[in-house]
Amino acid sequence: MLASILQNVINALQWGSFYALIALGYTLVYGVLTLINFAHGDIFMVGAYIAFFVASFALTTLGLPGWAALALTIPATMVLTSLVGVTLERIAYRPLRRKGAHRLYVVITALMAGLILENGNLAILGASRKAFPPLIHETVYTIGGVSFTNLKIAVIISAFLVFAFLHWVVTRTRVGMAMRAISYDKFAVPLMGIPMDNIIVVTFVLGSAFAGLAGILFAMSYPVLEPYMGALIGWKAFIAAVVGGIGDIRGAFIGGFLLGAVEIMVVAFFPSTFRDLIGFTVLLVILTFKPTGLFGVAKTTKI
Amino acid sequence: MLRYTFHILLILAGGLITWMAYEEMIGLYTLSVLMFMGVNIIMSTSLNLVNGYMGEFSCGHAGFMCVGAYVSSILGVLLFAKDKVFGAPLLDPSLAIYAFPFIVLAGGVAAALAGLLVAIPSYKTRGDYLAIITIAANYIIISVIENLGVIGGSRGFMGMKRVINAMEDVAYLPWMPIWVFLFTVFSVWLLRRYLSSTFGKGVSAICQDEVAAEIMSVNTNKIKTISFMVSSGVAGIAGGLFAYVIGYVNPGSFNILKSTEALVMVYLGGMGSLSGSILSAVLFTLLLEALRPLQIIKWVVIPLLLIILMQFRPEGIMGNKELGDMFPWLKRFYKFK
């Protein structure tokens, strides 16, 4: 009994790590721009594909051993994915922001950019699924009936490290202070001599890079890639971010793990087709009783 | 007489389509494109009530369409068609011709009740948090249907063609184009009447400032509830028609992508413009069909076009104006306000 509970906890932590990693990107961008970057799930997908190409290149063309290929793949993917995110910001979001368009139009642009990434990928690479090459040898450890792999542990640890890093960036550094300032008052910030566009680019770099990292980890854990893999997980991560209280780093992190835990627990006790039903019902109930999420602060509305 | 030009033109257009479909002058393909156009018009105008006029951000509209589609197709098959699951029809199939509008309306009512799923949380939850609730509602509805094995689960549900055949047995007319046309006109009329009523004023007040509206004695909860229910109910009508046009429904076709399509139509036409929504639904359907030879690249080209549109005319085709406001000379040709 205890073993199976622990087993489920580990599974939930691993599954929640992916949600948390993607939700962190959503929440960073939202916190600074109040923009729901719906393309973020697809940036995660692009990250997984970039990882696939880099890893295949390193393994076959360069002939590197697995660990070296992994050591090359992680930074290369993070850099390339963040380039994708920044490009998106430059060509799609920034012109709209300069014009002072209603934020819903930016949201629609983001949705469309996500569709372009998905279907462009499908058009270029075809519908056949890609198998991610194994980079490290997966070892299964069993302690007292609880089995876990080194990969699972790596996923969970990296999610925690990324959270700690982002929390440090937002609360302790000058860039983070600027980010919080922008989310506090968008109009006063440029007057204080803070380069708003640069800060926004940094935000997109951070968010997309960690989406790329999530892409690598996801591809290593579930080594089948397809163009629509980012859509559903992206929507769910967004929901996780909102349940935690969007705009708050801790909220996204907790929300991601909460969603992961709910989904794993549902699968453990019910048929797996009930996963979405019960998961989303729980979230609906949470939002009905806590309208700004777990960590969200209710804003006072003035007239 | 001049003031009734619009009404006369509308009746003539409906008659012309029916006549041409009856004489088989237009092919089945063109006819089905026209019918999808009608369904899309209903979807975009009904979503415009919530997203445009009320200023909320609902991105789960397809969920309500799904409820309407399933309820009306199950009712129709249960009552008027022989089916493997439900057995013999409960009523005489020749009655289908009279009962069909009520079946579609029943789907609409069921969808309106499903709209409560969003309406009740919207009392306290606002903005992006409400957007999540709508997405969650969409997923919940699809997931419930996927888990109902009786009506086919994720395999889908069919048999609606038999109901249409039952109608054609009584009188041979192109029934689906007629019903789609009538319901499209009905839905747009309903939304127009709703928006120009006292409720409509309350809706605009909520869009401007919810707190101020409440202070000015607008019962915001009541208006939000009714608006969400009207919007989702009309979407349910669209769903019912959609199910009968295609003759097959499965929960997968009402996913978030379908909701995105509806969103695109609203923002393409302009928030807060019914005529804009109609125009954009027509354009969007035509665009989808025109780009069909491109296959998958279609879904790259359409979003790209929209992004370009957002860059150069972010308020959509019509902004928040109606056609009559943009071209005042048109006002001579219709009577309603």
Collapsed DSSP state (helix, strand, coil) of residue A141:
strand
Say if the Cβ atoms of B303 and A274 lie within 8 Å: no
Residue type, A32: V
Residue A102: inside a domain:
yes
Query: What average pLDDT does chain B have?
Result: 88
Portion 110-129 of B in contact with A at CB < 8 A: 117, 120-121, 124-126, 128-129
Element counts in chain B: helices (H) and strands (E): 14, 2
Angstrom distance (rounded) from CA B278 to CA B265: 9
Distance from CA of B207 to the nearest CA of A (A): 13
Burial class (CB in 10 A: 0-12, 13-18, 19+), B329: exposed
pLDDT value for A50: 93
Which pair of tokens denotes residue B227? 């608006």
Least confident of A204-213, B43-52, B307-316: B307-316
Residue B132 has pLDDT above 90, yes or no: no
pLDDT value for A301: 65
Distance from CA of A117 to the nearest CA of B (A): 8
pLDDT value for B337: 58
Band of residue A300 on the pLDDT scale cut at 50, 70, 90: low
Question: For the domain that residue A136 is a member of, what is the CATH number?
Answer: 1.10.3470
Residue B183 has pLDDT above 90, yes or no: yes
Residue of B nearest to A88 (CA): B307
Query: In the predicted model, what is the mean pLDDT of residues B156-165?
Result: 86
Query: Which of chain A's residues have a Cβ under 8 Å away from the Cβ of B142?
Result: 276
Which pair of tokens denotes residue B81? 């068609």
pLDDT value for A16: 93
Nearest to B133 among A123, A287, A292 (CB): A287
Instruction: Give the number of domains in chain B.
Output: 1
Angstrom distance (rounded) from CA B320 to CA B52: 8
Query: In the predicted model, what is the mean pLDDT of residues B156-174?
Result: 85
Angstrom distance (rounded) from CA B181 to CA B35: 8
Portion 21-80 of B in contact with A at CB < 8 A: 57
Say if the Cβ atoms of B304 and A95 lie within 8 Å: no
Write the CA distances from B93 to A201, B90, B100, B105, B157, integer angstroms: 64, 9, 11, 19, 19
Angstrom distance (rounded) from CA A256 to CA B296: 33
Percentage, residues of chain B above pLDDT 70: 99
pLDDT value for A303: 63
Report if pTM > 0.95. no
Instruction: Give the number of domains in chain A.
Output: 1
CA A66 to chain centre: 25
Give strand pairing partners of B83.
B87
Pick the most confident of A69-83, B256-270, B298-312: A69-83
Q: CB pairs below 8 Å between A and B: how many?
A: 131
pLDDT value for A141: 86
Interface test with B, best of A102, A119, A286 (most B CBs within 10 A): A119
Q: Tell me: the pLDDT tens digits for B93-128?
A: 788 888 899 999 999 999 999 999 888 888 887 777
Q: Tell me: the pLDDT tens digits for A82-98?
A: 999 999 999 888 888 88
pLDDT value for B72: 93
Residue A231: inside a domain:
yes
Q: Tell me: the pLDDT tens digits for A43-72?
A: 999 999 999 999 998 888 888 887 888 889
Query: What is the ipTM metric for this complex?
Result: 0.81
Residue B185 has pLDDT above 80, yes or no: yes
Query: What range does the domain containing B145 cover?
Result: 29-268
Q: Beta strand A146-149 with A140-143: parallel, antiparallel or unpaired?
A: antiparallel
B67 DSSP 8-state letter: H
Residue B223 has pLDDT above 90, yes or no: yes
Angstrom distance (rounded) from CA A249 to CA A117: 26
Residue B204: inside a domain:
yes
Residue B94: inside a domain:
yes
Which pair of tokens denotes residue A150? 């080194």
Residue A24 has pLDDT above 80, yes or no: yes
Percentage, residues of chain A above pLDDT 90: 34
DSSP per position, B221-286? HHHHHHHHHHHHHHHHHHHHHHHHHHTEE-GGGGSHHHHHHHHHHHHHH-TT-HHHHHHHHHHHHH
Query: Which of chain A's residues have a Cβ under 8 Å away from the Cβ of B256?
Result: 231, 235
Residue A300: inside a domain:
no
Angstrom distance (rounded) from CA A54 to CA A73: 6
Query: In the predicted model, what is the mean pLDDT of residues A188-200?
Result: 90
Residue B56 has pLDDT above 80, yes or no: yes
CA B93 to chain centre: 27
Q: HEC profile for chain A? A: CHHHHHHHHHHHHHHHHHHHHHHHHHHHHHHHHCCCCCCHHHHHHHHHHHHHHHHHHHHHHCCCCHHHHHHHHHHHHHHHHHHHHHHHHHHHHHHHHHHCCCHHHHHHHHHHHHHHHHHHHHHHHCCCCEECCCCCCCCEEEECCEEEEHHHHHHHHHHHHHHHHHHHHHHHCHHHHHHHHHHHCCCHHHHCCCCHHHHHHHHHHHHHHHHHHHHHHHHHHCCEECCCHHHHHHHHHHHHHHHHCCCCHHHHHHHHHHHHHHHHHHHHHCCHHHHHHHHHHHHHHHHHHCCCCCCCCCCCCCC
Band of residue B147 on the pLDDT scale cut at 50, 70, 90: confident
pLDDT value for B175: 87
Residue B78 has pLDDT above 70, yes or no: yes
Residue B19: inside a domain:
no
Band of residue A281 on the pLDDT scale cut at 50, 70, 90: confident
Nearest to B136 among A101, A119, A284 (CB): A284
Residue B85 has pLDDT above 80, yes or no: no
- Asked whether the beta carbons of A218 and A44 are under 8 A apart, the reply is yes
Distance from CA of B112 to the nearest CA of A (A): 18
Residue B291: inside a domain:
no
Query: In the predicted model, what is the mean pLDDT of residues B190-214?
Result: 91
Token pair 């979407």 in the structure block, residue: B235
Query: In the predicted model, what is the mean pLDDT of residues B166-180?
Result: 87
- Asked whether the beta carbons of B268 and A112 are under 8 A apart, the reply is no
Angstrom distance (rounded) from CA B303 to CA B268: 11
Q: Tell me: the pLDDT tens digits for A133-192?
A: 888 888 888 887 788 888 889 999 999 999 999 999 999 999 999 998 988 888 888 898
Residue A149: inside a domain:
yes
Residue B277 has pLDDT above 90, yes or no: yes
Count of alpha carbons within 13 angstroms of residue B336, beta-carbon side: 11
- Geometric angle at alpha carbon A84, from A82 and A90, rounded to 5°: 100
Residue B238 has pLDDT above 90, yes or no: yes
Nearest to B314 among A96, A231, A291 (CB): A96
Q: Beta strand B157-158 with A130-131: parallel, antiparallel or unpaired?
A: unpaired
Query: In the predicted model, what is the mean pLDDT of residues B212-224?
Result: 91
Instruction: For residue B14, report the phi and psi dihedrals to the nearest 5 degrees.
Output: -60, -45
Band of residue A74 on the pLDDT scale cut at 50, 70, 90: very high
Residue B184 has pLDDT above 90, yes or no: yes
Length of chain A: 303
Does B312 contact A at CB distance below 8 Å?
A: no
Residue B54: inside a domain:
yes
pLDDT value for B5: 84
Nearest to A119 among B57, B212, B300 (CB): B300
Residue B28 has pLDDT above 80, yes or no: yes
Query: What range does the domain containing A75 cover?
Result: 6-289
